[in-house]
Structure 1
């Protein structure tokens, strides 16, 4: 008789420094406390979070596997060994939901290939929170990820996205490295039509969260919002 495999738990983590119990359900905290093996995007952040929730096993006795954009595929396959041996494993993003705008999807895909049960758990996600609060089209939307870094290519991409939004009446969400937020914002104002709506959602679930939706024409009349070096989601709808 084959040994029973462990389960891969997809564990949400906070997306701000707000109180953990305000954004992470108690059942998620309890499950996170009980595990001994974790696949994480950033080791220091994961250890700090698990210390805060008072994980049952001493931190130094936990097993961590590092999964980021540089992790080779063969190493990801090795992360499945505890699961194949009947040990439950927790997958955690640096912030928010694992596998959403996060390399954790590579492990989840490998788990499905190996007939390992995947258990998603409820928690915060800045993309969906932005969509919820934007007033834009929540029936047809897409996450684009990062736009090109070079200014000319970035502006070209913004034009393409606006055209796509116009043709499909689709809300398009994207992000940027926080220190480039202001440059992206200015490019959007310079490229998009006046009637295009733009949502800026900054540091959601924190005490300093900011979220507003205005037309490009209205944004041009406003002072630059305080988004520099702050985690921000942008969304547009023509």
Structure 2
């Protein structure tokens, strides 16, 4: 029989640094030291991180690992390799194995190559399976490139949407951007270096060259860039410097401010009149603001006008 770990048998979602190793939390280190299995995107990348923090990738715990990859066969043996490869190409196979390990009493941590797992990284299937199986899922919080970029962007952060990577092909990218152009909340994108100029040009064409944007590159790393401008000016900035076309890139784009102008409020009259049928002016204004992105006070005034017409 396998010997359960002293740590509660759960699935731990562990955030790791996005660049600066000083951002690794003490709780994350402690968790990775104690769990029986560490599921990671790339065992070589994660192996270097774990070595830096003195986290042994060999476990003294006995584990029945009769179904793991051939390279990691350690059934009913001590000193098994804690690192299990878990990525988009093997998730369908590895997910049930990991859930079974937890159900047998072993603790499992999921990490990505950098940052918080599941944010444009593998892991959704595993977390979903854990919930379906009644397995407890615990977050070990830490770095996230999207939130780090939002925190320094100087753009509204009360409402935002994480879009992640846009489609690689021009047609698909432009189609998605067109669907987003009227959104009023701040938008957060990831982009690959070799597509950054093409993506910025598509954004400028569809959102408008004067749309505010903050370009964040290599956050927390030595050559970090945080550059706030407009999309039109940003294209010039990135095009003029090859270094800005390298590394990890986050683009934080302001929402469509024209959709919140008072002059445009009348376009929402049909919605406001319908809300007034069932709600007070105050509640209708609050719900209308959530739906349209228009300021609540502006909608409140328009609702009063509609009542008096």
Name the TM-score class by shorter chain.
Answer: 0.7 to 0.9
- Which residue matches 1:7? 10
- Which residue matches 2:294? none
- Which residue matches 2:101? 82
- Which residue matches 1:40? 40
Deviations 1:87-143 (A, max 9, x none): 111100111011222221221111111111111012100001111111222121111
- Which residue matches 2:250? 233
Q: SS of 1:55's equivalent?
A: coil
- Which residue matches 2:208? 193
Deviations 1:59-86 (A, max 9, x none): 8832333222222535311211211111
CA distance in 2, matches of 1:35, 1:115: 19
Q: SS of 1:143's equivalent?
A: strand
Following TM superposition, the consecutive aligned residue runs of length 4 or more in structure 1 with deviations greater than 6 angstroms are none
Q: CA RMSD in A?
A: 2.3
CA distance in 1, matches of 2:52, 2:135: 29
The answer to whether the 8 Å contact 2:58/2:82 transfers is: no
The answer to whether the 8 Å contact 2:217/2:249 transfers is: yes
CA distance in 2, matches of 1:110, 1:213: 41
Select the structure of larger CA radius of gyration: 2
Q: Which runs of 5+ in 1 are unaligned?
A: none
> Which structure: greater helix fraction?
2
Alignment of 1:119-198 (within 5 A): 119-163=138-182, 165=183, 169-198=184-213
Question: Which stretch of structure 1 is more off in the superposition, 124-133 or 178-187?
Answer: 178-187
Q: Which runs of 5+ in 2 are unaligned?
A: 60-78, 257-309
Q: SS of 1:129's equivalent?
A: helix
Over 3 Å counting, the alpha-carbon distance change for 1:38 and 1:108 in structure 2 is: same
Deviations 1:159-217 (A, max 9, x none): 33222x2xxx2111111222222322233234331331112111111121111221234
